Amino acid sequence: MTDTVRVGLLGCGNVGAAVARMLHDHAEDIALRIGLRLEVTRIAVRDLARDRDVPVPAGAFTDDPAQVVDDHAVDVVAELIGGLEPARTLVMAAFDAGKPVVTANKELLATHGAELFEAAHRCDVDLLYEASVGGGIPLIRPLLESLAGERIVRVMGIVNGTTNYILTRMTEDGSSLAEALAEAQALGYAEADPTADIEGFDAAAKAAILASIAFDAPVVVGDVYREGISAVSAEDISNARRLGYVVKLLAIAESVDGAVSVRVHPAMIPSDHPLAAVRMSFNAVLIEGERVGELMLTGRGAGGDPTATSVVGDLIEAARNLRHGGRSAGAARARERRVLPIEEMAGQHCFLLRVDDRPGVLAAIATAFAEHRVSIKSVWQDGAGLEAHLVLVTHRADERSLRACAERLRGLDVVREVASVIRVEAGEP
């Protein structure tokens, strides 16, 4: 008779319900592969009256999540509630009860990761979180295990499907941000309150997790420099296209002279860059290692079923470890590394300036750039009269100089508006 590992689900929403269905539908395959059956025995939800359409007996449900954690008929806990509390307290209680935890909760890990990993280590149980970044894309395990011997130089990715969908529509159809957002909401890609996606909070939590793993450093969401896409206009996108770039919301974690830079912001990348081809709600992460070179992992970064594949993979690993001994990688946060403030970074920028249409304008602007030692790589002028504008791309310059230069430009009487400043990443088109 095949041994059974009993799973308690905290949450039965998009992801929790898909996990329950997948464990049921794939039960035979899983048992064949690992010699264990995984069975959902308890589920916590808020609203017991709602029909869940999952192949689990009604008696398994409770509206008290602590009951799931404490139940002797639960061996492994999957935290699929989301948010910080009660998720954190429940995960800690599961560790205290000697139970491994699988979670999809990026916010929790990016805020309380160090404390949770320390508790998991102390209680000698697994804390697995493949689904927390990139939904169905295997990212955490490749970084933690397959690349355990490699030195990671940079991790750069599109980790928020909602903003990638919006930027794709703006690029391909010329939609405004408001139009593309309304469409994403109608299709269920964006929440009614889209702030977490649009302003980059979701991507920042994922960037913190990726940076922590890639650089063995306890990076938290508060360390991540964050700019969302709310200021990106259709004009920025068409200017980028004219220059051979596309605009993407990027999460970037890189090792810089022993320190770590972690940031989320819109960026222009060359239109032939691998990340430029990642369209609609797809996600992708480009990992650069010292010896392995560049690797790109791409796929569906959200959605119940794709995300459930990552959760179920983790549940299988936790079940194996529970029955056969051993712990998974994941708690190594060995090094204290300085997280560089954005002011200490350098990069290329693209300026969109609305200017007066009269002689001497270009000279005044070029002088402002020169005064701040920012050299200009290319410039074009368009329009006439009140429509006149300049698009300038700089060479690499440090952030402080660029900010001071933007301030100086705002003060020039020939500049009516510094309409946008967008970073340029990943080289020349």
Ligand X SMILES: NC(=O)c1ccc[n+]([C@@H]2O[C@H](COP(=O)([O-])OP(=O)(O)OC[C@H]3O[C@@H](n4cnc5c(N)ncnc54)[C@H](OP(=O)(O)O)[C@@H]3O)[C@@H](O)[C@H]2O)c1
- Whether residue 140 contacts residue 133, with contact meaning beta carbons closer than 8 Å, is answered with yes
Q: Report the nearest approach of ligand X to the CB of residue 195 (Å).
A: 14
Q: Report the nearest approach of ligand X to the CB of residue 72 (Å).
A: 20
Q: Report the nearest approach of ligand X to the CB of residue 17 (Å).
A: 8
* Site map (CB under 6 A) of ligand X, residues 34-53, x = contact: ----------xxxx--x---
Stretch that binds ligand X, among 11-19, 252-260, 387-395, 396-404 (CB under 6 A): 11-19
Q: Is 206 a catalytic residue?
A: yes
* Site map (CB under 6 A) of ligand X, residues 13-32, x = contact: xxxx----------------
- Could you write out the three-class secondary structure of the chain? CCEEEEEEEECCCHHHHHHHHHHHHCHHHHHHHHCEEEEEEEEECCCCCCCCCCCCCHHHEECCHHHHHHCCCCCEEEECCCCCCCHHHHHHHHHHCCCCEEECCHHHHHHHHHHHHHHHHHHCCCEECHHHCCCCCCCHHHHHHHCCCCCEEEEEEECCHHHHHHHHHHHHHCCCHHHHHHHHHHCCCCCCCCHHHHCCHHHHHHHHHHHHHHHCCCCCHHHCEECCCCCCCHHHHHHHHHHCEEEEEEEEEEEECCEEEEEEEEEEEECCCHHHHCCCCEEEEEEEECCCEEEEEEEECCCHHHHHHHHHHHHHHHHHHHHHCCCCCCCCCCCCCCECCHHHCEEEEEEEEEECCCCCHHHHHHHHHHHCCCCEEEEEEECCHHHCEEEEEECCEEHHHHHHHHHHHHHCCCEEEEEEEEEECCCCC
Q: Report the nearest approach of ligand X to the CB of residue 205 (Å).
A: 9
Query: Would you count residue 65 as binding ligand X (CB under 6 A)?
Result: yes
* Site map (CB under 6 A) of ligand X, residues 197-236, x = contact: ----------------------------------------
Query: Would you count residue 81 as binding ligand X (CB under 6 A)?
Result: yes
Stretch that binds ligand X, among 103-111, 165-173, 180-188, 369-377 (CB under 6 A): 103-111
Catalytic residue among 99, 106, 206, 248: 206
Q: By CB under 6 A, how many residues form the interface with ligand X?
A: 24
Stretch that binds ligand X, among 163-171, 193-201, 223-231, 302-310 (CB under 6 A): 302-310
Name the residue whose CB lies closest to ligand X: 13
Nearer Cβ to ligand X, position 193 or 387?
193
Query: Would you count residue 11 as binding ligand X (CB under 6 A)?
Result: yes
Q: Report the nearest approach of ligand X to the CB of residue 186 (Å).
A: 17
Q: Report the nearest approach of ligand X to the CB of residue 264 (Å).
A: 16
From 36, 40, 78, 80, residue interacting with ligand X (rule: CB under 6 A): 80
From 60, 91, 104, 312, residue interacting with ligand X (rule: CB under 6 A): 104
Stretch that binds ligand X, among 77-85, 207-215, 233-241, 380-388 (CB under 6 A): 77-85
Q: Report the nearest approach of ligand X to the CB of residue 160 (Å).
A: 11
Binding region for ligand X (CB under 6 A): 11-16, 44-47, 50, 65, 80-82, 86, 104-106, 131, 135, 302-303, 307
Enumerate the active-site residues. 206
